[in-house]
Amino acid sequence: MTISTSTTQRQADAIVVGAGFAGLYAVHALRDKMGLDVVAFDAADDVGGTWYWNRYPGARVDIESVHYSYSFDDALQQEWRWSERFCAQPEILAYLEHVAERYDLRRSIRFKTRITSLTWDDEASVWVATTDAGDTWRAPHVVSGAGNLSVPKKPDFPGIEKFAGQVLMTGNWPHHEVCFTGKRVGIIGVGSSGIQAISEIAKTADHLTVFQRTPNYATPIGNELLDPAEEADYKANYQAIREASRNHFLGVPYQDAQPSALAVSAQERRAVFDDRWNRGGFRLFIDSFADILFDKRANDTAAEYIRERIRERVKDPATAELLSPTDYPYGTKRPPLETDYYEAYNRPNVTLLDVRTNTVKAVMPKGVELSDGTLHELDVLILATGFDACTGPLLALNITGRNGLRLADHWAHGPQTYLGLMSAGFPNLFMITGPQSPSVLYNMPLAIEDHVDLSCEAIAYLRKEGLGVIEPTPEAEQAWVAHTNELAQHTLLPESKTSWYMGDNIPGKPRRVLVYLGGAPNYRAKCEATVKAGWEGFSLTAAEGALA
């Protein structure tokens, strides 16, 4: 369909939120595979989603690009060339632009348009979307590709609006090149974004001050140019690789994990850690020993190994100490991957400050003031302070479901979903990689494809059966929430008190695990069994009214 602009109240078969990995594939699947009228919305002026907004220096994927890419069309995966093992943001954005072009997706997307509310019309069984362009759209189905890490955390530093220099956010980086030469730069936050940005900005800034609250367990990404022979080999075996990925906890075809870090000698353990450290990616975390995320004593061995490596790389022992996490297990905060991150602290132009003990008091016109009264003068202040993860992007859509139920109220104590895909009282609303699905603990493009395909299957089933509405039963939802909470209790995740996996990074956000921790293969099996059992746990009914 080409979007009509002739009326102010318009109709479609499906509304898609977002034009990132999820929104693009949803448009293609719903429109081109199912033949539906689709309209998508994105606040940006082009496609890309997270890869559109996160343009900070050093932004790079941390699952190998050959794996972190669409699998839905073999021709696409054969023709696209990745230049590096872990490509940088511009190349991933170019890939998504290519996908938009190749499948002619832009004609179904309204850019520079944000959905301001989504309201279920009980009488007509349709969603009514309003946009900041002043339009209203009606459609029986909504597929949200709003993302998991797309709503940056609001700055919580008093006085920031009075800062005389430039404030930049990694999650909403300017489109022009930012030059740090001759500048005093400060950065708050040492998560994946901060760590990638620090490693790059340290090379050009006159001085870089890092304000660190909680140190992270960063390990080498192991990036290098992708050897064409290796690439050809991947491409010749893509089907098997994708299958192996989908059968792996994290959605990558790694197969070398040993059962337990505690079942081998210290020497053997060291050899495994060294090997995974050298091979890079998430191998140390996910492909060394299978009990690292579940057994504190196993975790301690990996944590101590990483601290040892930090001490080897950072020249000043006090700085190395400050960079070494000690009060939460490895992997309970999302582990960042790095290139030369720790070496940045050996440079004379980089200072590390501990803002856990000496907190940020305020941002002053000249710089950042800490609780002890010291003022750190800056020309540029970068906020790498994270996101309102998983629930934030959905709540930002201002969603009201059946009988006036607001999603914000339904989720007042944390997300409530069935399979992380739908929520009771919010019919025909498909949340791609929603909370309590494997999402960020799975290879995102594959997680997205699985969820979009499942949503399409639900819509096709409704149509085949002459029905109009699908939603989870409250009982199925409650059981799923209890199941995801219980799974989390069997892991070490709840032991970190500052992890966005648990909602801890946003003041006032309810503490509840935001991801499904049973692993992608179990999750996929559960979805398949649900469909096979006639959409068990869902209620499927006729639509209340015809589309007006």
DSSP secondary structure of 258-308: BS-TTSS-HHHHHHHHHHHHHH-TTHHHHSSBTTTTT-HHHHHHHHHHHHH
- Enter the tokens of residue 488: 């989390």
Residue from 386, 392, 438, 518 binding ligand N01 (CB under 6 A)? 386
220 binds ligand N01 (CB under 6 A): no
Residue from 87, 188, 459, 506 binding ligand N01 (CB under 6 A)? 188
170/219 with CB nearer ligand N01:
170
- Enter the tokens of residue 244: 């192996």
Q: In the bound complex, what is the minimum distance in angstroms from residue 302's beta carbon to ligand N01?
A: 18
Residue from 183, 283, 334, 451 binding ligand N01 (CB under 6 A)? 334
Q: In the bound complex, what is the minimum distance in angstroms from residue 346's beta carbon to ligand N01?
A: 21
Q: In the bound complex, what is the minimum distance in angstroms from residue 149's beta carbon to ligand N01?
A: 4
Of 343, 257, 332, 256, residue with least CA distance to 300: 332
How many whole angstroms separate alpha carbon 41 and alpha carbon 278?
A: 42
DSSP secondary structure of 470-532: EEE-HHHHHHHHHHHHHHHHTSSGGG-SS-GGGTTTSTT------S--S-HHHHHHHHHHHHH
180/500 with CB nearer ligand N01:
500
Which residues is 120 bridged to in the sheet? 127
Contacts of 459 (CB under 8 A, 6+ apart): 14, 30, 34, 36, 141
50/428 with CB nearer ligand N01:
50
# chain residues binding ligand N01, by CB under 6 A: 27
What is the sign of the dihedral through the CA atoms of 285, 286, 287 and 290? positive
Residue from 88, 124, 160, 440 binding ligand N01 (CB under 6 A)? 440
212/301 with CB nearer ligand N01:
212
Q: In the bound complex, what is the minimum distance in angstroms from residue 169's beta carbon to ligand N01?
A: 9
387 binds ligand N01 (CB under 6 A): yes
The end-to-end CA distance of the chain, in Å, is: 19
Window of 58-66, 109-117, 245-253, 275-283 that interacts with ligand N01 by CB under 6 A: 58-66
How many whole angstroms separate alpha carbon 374 and alpha carbon 351?
A: 14
Q: In the bound complex, what is the minimum distance in angstroms from residue 30's beta carbon to ligand N01?
A: 27
Which strands form 126-131's sheet, in the order they lie side by side?
9-11, 136-139, 126-131, 115-121, 399-400
What is the sign of the dihedral through the CA atoms of 505, 198, 324 and 277? positive
Q: Report the 10 Å Cβ neighbour count for 229.
A: 7
Q: Are 408 and 493 in contact (CB under 8 A)?
A: no
**Buried b vs exposed e over 121-153: b needs ≥16 C-beta within 10 Å?**
eeebbbbbbbbeeebebbbbbbbbbbbbbbbbb
Residue from 332, 385, 484, 530 binding ligand N01 (CB under 6 A)? 385
146 binds ligand N01 (CB under 6 A): no
172 binds ligand N01 (CB under 6 A): no
Binders of ligand N01 among residues 505 to 524 (CB under 6 A) are 505
30: DSSP letter: I
Q: In the bound complex, what is the minimum distance in angstroms from residue 353's beta carbon to ligand N01?
A: 10
Of 392, 388, 385, residue with least CA distance to 407: 392
Binders of ligand N01 among residues 488 to 507 (CB under 6 A) are 498, 500, 505
214/428 with CB nearer ligand N01:
214
**SS3 state of residue 430:** strand
Residue from 71, 108, 192, 219 binding ligand N01 (CB under 6 A)? 192
Residue from 167, 355, 543, 547 binding ligand N01 (CB under 6 A)? 355
Residue from 69, 108, 150, 193 binding ligand N01 (CB under 6 A)? 193
62 binds ligand N01 (CB under 6 A): yes
Q: In the bound complex, what is the minimum distance in angstroms from residue 458's beta carbon to ligand N01?
A: 28
Window of 60-68, 100-108, 454-462, 510-518 that interacts with ligand N01 by CB under 6 A: 60-68
Q: In the bound complex, what is the minimum distance in angstroms from residue 354's beta carbon to ligand N01?
A: 10
Q: In what helix (H) or strand (E) does residue 129 lie, and over which residues does it extend?
A: strand 126-131
Of 124, 149, 135, residue with least CA distance to 39: 135
Q: In the bound complex, what is the minimum distance in angstroms from residue 389's beta carbon to ligand N01?
A: 7
Residue from 24, 61, 320, 441 binding ligand N01 (CB under 6 A)? 61
Q: In the bound complex, what is the minimum distance in angstroms from residue 133's beta carbon to ligand N01?
A: 29
Window of 21-29, 59-67, 463-471, 531-539 that interacts with ligand N01 by CB under 6 A: 59-67
**SS3 state of residue 124:** coil
User: Which residues would be at the binding site for ligand N01 (CB under 6 A)?
Assistant: 60-62, 149, 156, 170, 188-194, 196, 213-214, 334, 355, 360, 384-387, 440, 498, 500, 505
